[in-house]
Structure 1
């Protein structure tokens, strides 16, 4: 198995913190967010890594070089047009060949063992991919993942309205008390993903959305399994989250 890390974005919600530094290189516990991710992947036995860069790409590329310092082989490719997550992994296509791959955003922090869990879920039974989820988030601000009784993905609903949530409850996809599964931004796919990203249409916000490709895969009958993340999951989305992480680090 290989891995692709999406680290091309600027992270405008970080305001002045990302004026000259890409968001995945912001430090948590004294090290860049991206370094935590690389070490977690290597600890899970995934050592062939592709990092998709964009804004201030050379900062990431110079820091990680060929990856030997982390016991990895790291290759870089640049997303020259920032047109959404649906096309972000495209630079890695030839690198991946026919290998399955773990795909993660470069601003998601989890416990290192999470990567082993994701890999084990994919390898544990025949499937076409894995979609990780977490509890406790306001799904109206992200992706609500819906599963059947076998915890196979039905679809992801982005930022559902109160009316959509009520309709999903009436249809039996949601209980009145949940569980409400929030898309956690870490996946495993086979290269068949690219057949679906190639057919994406621009979303209402003018971007190609990865979740649209995932939904198309599920609708086509591909077997996408869910995996709840155990332990910490943090979307380092803004300065307040970064400040909280640093406060937790100082207190421990």
Structure 2
């Protein structure tokens, strides 16, 4: 099985840092962010990777090379501009179709305690074209309240758990997905997976399966997300990052 790591975005919410460094290469406790993403995938037995790159691609390619340092094989799917999640899958289709069976798609900016092997087994078990990984552990960044008909606050919760499955950005797809992406003309426009492709699949009656487990994940999408990880002590970071890999 191959894994496609999405690393083509410009990281606009992390500017000005990402004016000079692509988000997957942001230093995090001695290593680039995307290296921490890579370790759990290798640990579950994946050895063949495609990295989708575009913005400041040479920095990513120069560091990760062909993957020899980690005992894996890395190919690159490169475009002049980011193409959206589905667009990057389409762009990498020739590399992804070199192996039989489904492929895994993960973001290059999210540290995730997801059991990828169990996710893949789940996908193989249902036989459908799409599996989306959901975490039941997601805390809102704002407080919520229960307010009665007299506008009196009866209960207040600061940053509560959402108590709904939240996508952590990992997908298992089989090759049937390419024909669906092609309908959106990905050569000429950005095409997203969850907002463009998935609604169309549901409209057409194509099943999308959800793998839901209680696992933590950290999306390094904004300055405060990144800074919160940087400020962790080594002991605290060891609870998040796979130091033993």
Both structures adopt the same fold (TM-score exceeding 0.5):
yes
Please give the per-residue CA displacement for 1:165-199, whole angstroms capped at 9, x wherever unaligned: xxxxxxxxxxxx97422222100000111111111
Q: What is the DSSP-based 3-state SS (H/G/I as helix, E as strand, rest coil) of the residue aligned with 2:16?
A: helix
State yes or no: 1:187 paired with 2:162.
Answer: no
The 3 A distance-change label for structure 1 pair 229 and 30 is: farther
Query: After superposition, where does 1:61-210 map in structure 2 within 5 Å?
Result: 61-97=61-97, 98-111=100-113, 113-135=114-136, 136-138=138-140, 179-200=163-184, 207-210=190-193
The two structures have a TM-score, normalised by structure 2, of: 0.78
Q: What is the DSSP-based 3-state SS (H/G/I as helix, E as strand, rest coil) of the residue aligned with 2:231?
A: helix
The 3 A distance-change label for structure 1 pair 48 and 185 is: same
Match of 1:223 among 207, 213, 229: 207
Structure 1 partner of 2:35:
35
Q: Is the contact between residue 52 and residue 92 of structure 1 (CA under 8 Å) also seen in structure 2? A: yes
Q: What is the DSSP-based 3-state SS (H/G/I as helix, E as strand, rest coil) of the residue aligned with 2:58?
A: helix
Q: What is the DSSP-based 3-state SS (H/G/I as helix, E as strand, rest coil) of the residue aligned with 2:46?
A: coil
Query: What is the CA distance between 1:250 and its match in structure 2?
Result: 4.0
The 3 A distance-change label for structure 1 pair 18 and 138 is: same
Q: Is the contact between residue 5 and residue 105 of structure 1 (CA under 8 Å) also seen in structure 2? A: yes
Query: What is the CA distance between 1:207 and its match in structure 2?
Result: 4.1
Q: What is the DSSP-based 3-state SS (H/G/I as helix, E as strand, rest coil) of the residue aligned with 1:74?
A: strand
Q: Determine the C-alpha separation between the residues in 2 that align with 1:88 and 1:129.
A: 16
Query: What is the CA distance between 1:137 and its match in structure 2?
Result: 4.9
Query: What is the CA distance between 1:131 and its match in structure 2?
Result: 0.3
Query: What is the CA distance between 1:201 and its match in structure 2?
Result: 6.8
Q: What is the DSSP-based 3-state SS (H/G/I as helix, E as strand, rest coil) of the residue aligned with 2:40?
A: helix
Q: Is the contact between residue 29 and residue 249 of structure 1 (CA under 8 Å) also seen in structure 2? A: no
Q: Is the contact between residue 133 and residue 227 of structure 1 (CA under 8 Å) also seen in structure 2? A: yes
Q: Is the contact between residue 4 and residue 106 of structure 2 (CA under 8 Å) also seen in structure 1? A: yes
Query: What is the CA distance between 1:87 and its match in structure 2?
Result: 0.6
Query: What is the CA distance between 1:224 and its match in structure 2?
Result: 2.1
Q: Is the contact between residue 134 and residue 168 of structure 2 (CA under 8 Å) also seen in structure 1? A: yes
Q: Is the contact between residue 8 and residue 57 of structure 2 (CA under 8 Å) also seen in structure 1? A: yes
Q: What is the DSSP-based 3-state SS (H/G/I as helix, E as strand, rest coil) of the residue aligned with 2:120?
A: helix
State yes or no: 1:2 paired with 2:7.
Answer: no
Q: What is the DSSP-based 3-state SS (H/G/I as helix, E as strand, rest coil) of the residue aligned with 2:134?
A: strand
Q: Determine the C-alpha separation between the residues in 1 that align with 2:190 and 2:52.
A: 17
Q: Is the contact between residue 86 and residue 200 of structure 1 (CA under 8 Å) also seen in structure 2? A: no
Q: 118-127 or 69-78: which moved more?
A: 118-127
Q: Determine the C-alpha separation between the residues in 2 that align with 1:101 and 1:232.
A: 23
Say how many residue pairs are matched: 212
Q: Determine the C-alpha separation between the residues in 1 that align with 2:19 and 2:178.
A: 32
The two structures have a TM-score, normalised by structure 1, of: 0.76
